[in-house]
Amino acid sequence: MYLPVRTAARPDVRLLLKPLRPPAATRCRRIIVPVVCRPRRSILPSTTMSPKVLICGGLRWASEDAQKLLGDHAEIIQLDSPDRADFLQGFQPGGKYDGVVAMYRSNGSKKNIGVFDKELVDGLRGVQWIAHNGAGYDQIDVEACAAKNIRVSNTPGAVDEATATTALYLLLSSLRQFYLAERSLRDGKWKPAVSDRAHDVSCITLGILGLGGIGLYFAQLVKPFGTKILYHNRKPSPDAPDWIEYCADVDDMLKRVDVLSVHVPLNEKTEGLVGEKMIRTMKKGSVIINTARGKVIDEPALIRALEDGHLASVGLDVFPDEPKVNPRLIEFTNVCLLPHMGTETRDSQHRMEMRSLTNIYDFLTTGQGKDLVPEMRR
């Protein structure tokens, strides 16, 4: 043992003295202690070792898949709130949702906590990712999420087949008046007189408003009939095949088509998009199909066009105020109505749930999911 010492005359000089040794009576024998290697412990506090994932709305088909996919990376907890106040309270320090970093959300959560508006989003302390189960995400305030650095994903592609086949059914039923024929049969009246207003699919021109994944899938289903197909987007789709004609001017497309199928997302720019002007630009006797969102169409304008005969029929799977349906629509005998059946198949719903969970898995393992909504890709 060496003690450094400074002298008064030369404070910058260190003198090394002889080593000091303890008295013989206090000396200890040298003992060799074996070194035991232990696993390195996490530097994170125990409370942050397992981030939480909140299942908000329930998993119908992929609950076991969720545990297999996420169980090694997070603690999975279920929504356990009867109302919004209880839900938001759960995100306070020490609350039942404290530590949640990602959320799986389906529209089924609306009945308990409402839509994900600014008030709700502002209360999501610690949440970094919302994986929405669905292609349409109009029930989430994306702008409020962005302000809190919460990223939002949806499930593009997973819904294409089921929604497109729903549109195909509405197209066939509206053109051939099959819904009226079934009603007549069930009423014991046999075959109604519909041939004067029914059409073959091969003899019409179809216009697709919004050629995304669903619109393109629908076009592929219709193609074998030999139907002429046009589409309008803000700009040409790079995925559009050469047998679908692009119309840069929406009015030009509307003037040429016999059937308009609507496939645009609902946002502040598309609410009421298909209104009086668009409808009246179409030919007299045209048909409108909607599997997108009810509010994309101006419902009063649609009803007026049915009443005065400008529209021969409509096929609707979506409505502005679901599950309520305008009684006037139900009174028409020349319309085909479905109660939002677009994704009501176990196959598509399982794909949607898995797509949502995979986005959460990617976020937990890489910090980024693959299906950010368009507003967050800019």
Quote the tokens at residue 97.
């949702």
How far is CA 278 from each of CA 219, 285, 286, 323, 324, rounded to the nearest angstrom?
Answer: 21, 14, 12, 26, 25
Question: Beta strand pairing status for 4-6 and 14-16?
Answer: antiparallel
Tell me the angle at which helices 178-186 and 160-176 cross, rounded to the nearest 10 degrees: 70
Question: Beta strand pairing status for 52-56 and 75-78?
Answer: parallel
Catalytic-residue membership of 353: no
How far is CA 86 from each of CA 89, 120, 316, rounded to the nearest angstrom?
Answer: 5, 11, 37
Catalytic-residue membership of 322: yes
Which of 132, 293, 351, 355 is catalytic? The answer is 293
Tell me the torsion sign for CA atoms 374, 109, 130, 164.
Answer: negative
Which of 322, 331, 344, 375 is catalytic? The answer is 322
- How far apart are alpha carbons 262 and 211 in whole angstroms? 9
- How far apart are alpha carbons 124 and 116 in whole angstroms? 10
19 secondary structure, DSSP code: P
Question: What is the residue type of 94?
Answer: G
Which of 73, 256, 304, 340 is catalytic? The answer is 340
Catalytic-residue membership of 27: no
- How far apart are alpha carbons 287 and 267 in whole angstroms? 24
Known catalytic residues are: 293, 322, 340
